[in-house]
Amino acid sequence: MSLKIPPPILTVVALLTMYGCTIFIPLWQFKTLWLVAIPLIIVAVIIGLLSVLALAKADTTVSPFTPEKTARLVTRGIYQYSRNPMYLSLLFLLIAAVFISGELSTSLVVIVFVLVINRYQIGPEEKILMHLFGDEYRHYCQRVRRWC
């Protein structure tokens, strides 16, 4: 795998960076929008739980560092809507943090997070899954989008 930092830790780093953005590079402040942030957090938690439960039910790995240990290609449940629902849940948490921070510059961190996860986590995972599951995974990729 290209990424050596677990995605949840990368999310915490992103949150800390967002906090730094509010202090050091304020672009445009707005009122904290709890009515947007709270539903995003709830959706993020639900998506995260459904993702882990689907993988556990299929008796396959949850670890982002051992995709080669994937026993089964999970295409049911939340995975019929997103190929990467765990990363999607982390993304929703970061978007919620933008609305909580009330600072536009924090949205730049969200963009960097997506680029880093795509390049260093999802890309290598998909190569391994393509190797393991071949045409089955290729057809799955044609039917289901990466993030949502």
How do residues 61-114 score in pLDDT, each as one tens digit? Answer: 777 777 777 888 999 999 999 999 999 999 999 999 999 999 999 999 999 999
**What whole-number distance in Å separates Cα of residue 96 and Cα of residue 44?**
9
Residues sharing a CB contact under 8 Å with residue 56, sequence separation 6 or more, in sequence order: 62
Rg over alpha carbons for the chain, rounded to the nearest Å, is 16
What are the tokens at 115? 């680029």
- Write out pLDDT tens, residues 87-97: 999 999 999 99
User: Do you know the residue count of the chain?
Assistant: 148
Q: What's the average model confidence in pLDDT over 2-29?
A: 90
Amino acid at 19: Y
Which residue(s) pair with 103 in the sheet? 29
Mean pLDDT of 48-53: 96
pTM of the model: 0.91
Task: Give the H or E element holding residue 51.
Answer: helix 34-57
Query: Any idea what DSSP says for residue 120?
Result: I
Taking only the tens place, the pLDDT of each residue in 119-139 is 999 998 899 899 999 999 999
Question: What is the Cα–Cα distance from 3 to 120, expressed in whole angstroms?
Answer: 5
* Model confidence at 1: pLDDT above 70: no
Asked whether residue 144 carries a pLDDT value surpassing 80, the answer given is yes
Domain ranges of the chain: 8-143
